[in-house]
Structure 1
């Protein structure tokens, strides 16, 4: 199905996902989950909109119908995109006023998940919002007032006031950290999901080729960004979770900065990193372009960078530890006289993403040194290899790869040689 206003995946796909999450809940002894991450809400219900800037929460019980709490104005969107959930809409505003029906605040309970304190702490009074009130009511109506509930405390999208209000409003529940229970299921993409990641990868290739073609001496960064967005949408993509990164020599070191109103000069480095997006599934790609001429050390640096990437890719297969993938990458640098040069990771897991990230909220799950994460078939990664300020030249390559039964498959395909414009 590719109806823009409704669900993309069929009902069986959502039931499979929920069942896998529920199996994890059973193993943890949870009666329900309270989920705030827009990526995980989309994954489990199909809700795909931009209204997550306001509180939205999914109650997933161990058995029975999921409950979705959003602003009331999202009624039509939920009806079309998540038709099998019970929708609870809340009105804007805060009710009731303090002193009218204010909840009892227990000063020994906090976001430390019930760790007792030596002395009562002074805190601002948290007026119960409509979102809190309706969530508390929904939990009570679902028979979860005394249940064991996993709450999405690590989500960027669960404000302190909302979490505190809900936990105080359901004081007899046993609140537990949800941690990565849903993410651990979502990290494995089904064949239907991988189809979307491949579609996103084709869009990424077009975006990158358009950016490279637009670059040159005297070209303003904004013209390159315009070419990227034009290719993104003309190829059938949608807005990505993270703005494409277009940086040149003047702001090259700004890790998550992007284009400025400046023209490329002879001898500049142009850093390009972006991700096509299809139905919220992302496929990042990155390249470095030399403006005007190719420095004498460019080929050597690019060869090292590419060899390191391929060594990491050759290590990727089901059962391998993520830390071993990083060590394969680092070993190429060590053999090339760059043992002093290391990175915090050589890639990270990607998939569903909403702004402000194409990898989900929080620090990405990376191919990091000493990581004990074991790779599994269906995982997808943004595999990265770069040398900036290494002493042997500059190079940057990154691609989207899939863990297959037989190893690693590259999904993005723009050439990995030295690029000059």
Structure 2
């Protein structure tokens, strides 16, 4: 079953909406789960610190405070002591209470000294509840809520809470994989759709191109099969020449398809030798100079013309560019082929004053089988292979090719070739 454009667009739209919905729900529940674990963390810390404060209060025969803990930030808590305290007493109490609540995350603590109005750094304890030496002294924030207090900060709080969301992280990864798979599937569908359209157009064009010479040959052979033709030698020669011409035309078309297949498989080889570019240009433009006459301009201004190239393929490159210029120049083509130099390169330019190429098509004209839409599939002959062949040959020679065009004002192809002494 062939999917039309509207169906594909609908599938993509529904898929994008579905994925956006799934991602939105995933983010919502991830946020809810994070907030829940953060609340649980806060409650566990508050209970643990309150128990530490009450234990200290009982050891000093003081009354228990109902709410001795204040949270100053998401990861920093201060606890009312009411009496000065040594770090050696506080650390074991903190470790014991955090173990009870299974708060296995790094924390650091400090005790406020009212004489110096500073928090004296107590120490840093790893998630394994082992003391850890920190180079330098971390400064904990002060508060004026209490006269004597200690502060506890959890630098790894976010990582600790995230570690509790393993199921949600796994589900998010699955969602991500699904999203990537969907994107890839849509890419494959669109690519296959485009290839299908290109191949269909190619088959239609190939059928049309082959039908013309086949029909001509059939007519010519029918004429040659008549008895009267033997008594008309000029007419006989004419139809023999027609058959030979159409046979060569078919041969060239088949070779174009086979050459493209070889390029696609990487089987094509080039025979690089020293060539004189201008001599090749004169040879390859002989027929077009006769055909177009004054409408063909040859401006060979380059002074250094020695290059390294495969002669046959270079001639085919120029021939294809000239053929392309003729096809898209209407009934009265005006074409210019020119060369020029700089210090290192020779530039070959083929210009026409034809219909031009729209901006949206210029990036695709070198693709295999691609033909610029002109309304009617068969109004310009060809398979969409010529420019692809040119591009691949330029690439194999390690040259560069550029195209500039304006719709309704013609097209210019420029090949940049290194000069060889």
Q: What band does the TM-score fall into relative to the shorter chain?
A: under 0.3
Higher alpha-carbon Rg: 2
Higher helix share: 2
Taking structure 1 as the reference length, the TM-score comes to 0.19
TM-score when normalising by structure 2: 0.19
Q: Which has the higher contact order (CA 8 A, sep 6+)?
A: 1
